[in-house]
Amino acid sequence: MIDSDTLDNIEEIPEETNDDYVNDDLYNINSWGADYSFRELISMYQDGDLVKPELQRKYVWGKPEASRFVDSVLLGLPIPSIFLAKTTDNKMLIIDGYQRIMTINDYVRGIWSENNKVFKLSNIRGKINHRWIDKSFSELPDSEQRKIKTSTIHAIIFEQKTPNENDTSLFQIFERINTSGRSLLPQEIRNCVYQGKLNSLLFELNLNTKWRTLFGNDNEDQRMRDLEYILRFFALNTEFVFSNPKSSITLKKYLNEFMGDKSNNAESQIELHRKEFTLCINSIYENIGENAFYNVQSNDLATIRKRFYPPIYDAVMIATSKAKAMGLDLSTASEEKRINLLKDASFRKYISEGTMQTEHINGRINLALKYLYNYE
């Protein structure tokens, strides 16, 4: 199903979007409890030691919910625990509890992040103690300011001990524990748990105007599926795929492992990814045109179906990358050749059946090389 917050220009492949996270890894995860004062959490956040999930650029809570939470702290009522994960670089990633922490952070600094205006407690729903209605933090008595800063919240902290080459358990922990109020798509979770140079690169490349034209929508996908397709190009354009012709990929797990691999965040690798994606997008845009990643109608092979089709995207992008590596003339590609490719019976099988079987991934890439770049 396409979420109402997503773009409606993508042809979904059920076996790719509905792949269950089958994971045979056994994790050794330590967990423990700790009580933090809000003063400590605010300091950790400001110092960069407490990392917010990049999923949310704005609050999910409105002013009434945030005010109600501050009211609970001032009243000394119990506060639900937060969940943190200790990352390999010794930072704390907020798995669950972002709204609570950021509400107090905003209230103490005096500015409501949603609109950058003075944060005064709202009594819209009539649930705030009359002593604090329309009061900012600086307007509270010193004793109540201290109460907010010294109030503690219990944290349950996770740390993955093994496997030690990546933080793949964090994806599953976040997926199962986060209570942000909606079911998260895989790339939204990756954006939270795999923060680093590769994640930043995805956002950078996603603004490429030629990519946005080829993707079929000028607006960035709020659910980050466009980011996932950029990641998918990097992850499938690898020796693992090319040298394992009889494997089957669980896409969600495979992309998690690729994004969590520290070597893929090395500066040298980031620069290679940047150049490769940009070169391929530029060449495809200039030589094939804006329909490059679209399919044709199944009952009318002469009519373009204007929806981004992921397996065609794989084939055209990776074939272009390989053609460039082999020294082939990229200008030989054309929309006419692409249409002939789409009419090939084997290619149509490779883009519609078993699309994450490496035999079919390689099959559609090789046929794209043949049709677009005259490679036999």
For the cut 90, the answer to whether the pLDDT of residue 302 exceeds it is: no
Q: Where residue 87 falls among pLDDT bands split at 50, 70, 90?
A: confident
Beta bridge partners of 156: 33, 83
What integer is the mean pLDDT of 7-21?
Answer: 74
Give the tens place of pLDDT for each residue, 49-58: 998 866 554 4
Q: Residue 143: how many CB atoms within 10 A of its CB?
A: 7
Identify the three-state secondary structure at position 96: strand
Check whether 131 has a pLDDT greater than 50.
yes
- Centre a 10 Å sphere on the Cβ of residue 81 and count the other Cβ atoms it contains: 15
Q: Which of 16-25, 190-199, 218-227 has the highest mean pLDDT?
A: 218-227
* Cβ atoms of residues 348 and 334 within 8 Å: no
pLDDT on residue 108: 97
Residue 146 belongs to what H/E stretch? helix 142-150
The torsion angle over the Cα atoms of residues 337, 338, 343 and 346, rounded to 10 degrees, is 100
pLDDT band, residue 158 (cuts 50/70/90):
confident
Partners of 37 in the beta sheet? 152
Q: What is the pLDDT of residue 38?
A: 97
Burial class (CB in 10 A: 0-12, 13-18, 19+), 323: buried
Q: Above 50 in pLDDT, residue 4?
A: no
**What confidence score (pLDDT) does residue 100 get?**
93
Q: CB of 183 within 8 A of CB of 68?
A: no
% of the chain residues with pLDDT over 90: 64
Quick check: 376 pLDDT over 60? yes
Mean pLDDT, to the nearest integer, of 96-111?
A: 93
DSSP code, position 6: S
Furthest-apart CA atoms within the chain: distance in Å: 80
Q: How far, in Å, CA of 193 to CA of 178, rounded? A: 12
pLDDT in tens, 180-192: 555 778 898 888 8
Radius of gyration of the chain (CA): 25
> pLDDT band at residue 5, thresholds of 50, 70 and 90?
very low
Give the pLDDT confidence score for residue 217 in this predicted structure. 94
Q: Is the pLDDT of residue 20 over 70?
A: no
The token pair at 46 is 């400001």
Q: In this structure, is the dihedral angle defined by the CA atoms of residues 34, 40, 44 and 50, taken in order, positive or negative?
A: positive
pLDDT single digits (tens) 343-374: 999 999 999 999 999 999 999 999 999 999 99
Query: 367, 355, 373, 370: which is closest to 241 by C-alpha?
Result: 355
Task: Tell the burial category of 206 from Cβ atoms under 10 Å away from its Cβ (0-12, 13-18, 19+).
Answer: middle
> What is the model's pTM?
0.77
Q: What pLDDT score does 1 carry?
A: 36
Task: Give the E-state strand segments of 43-91 in sequence order.
Answer: 50-51, 82-86
| Two tokens, residue 22 | 């089958």
Q: Is 95 helix (H, G, I), strand (E, B) or coil?
A: strand
Domain residue spans of the chain: 14-18+196-373, 28-162+166-182
Residue 55 contacts residue 184 (beta carbons within 8 Å):
yes
pLDDT tens digit sequence for 211-268: 999 999 999 998 899 999 999 999 999 999 999 888 899 898 899 989 988 889 899 9
- Is the pLDDT higher at 337 or at 19? 337
The set of residues, in sequence order, having a beta carbon less than 8 Å from that of 96 and lying 6+ positions away, is 82, 83, 177, 178, 179, 180
pLDDT tens digits for 62-80? 888 899 999 999 999 999 9
The answer to whether residue 91 scores a pLDDT higher than 70 is: yes
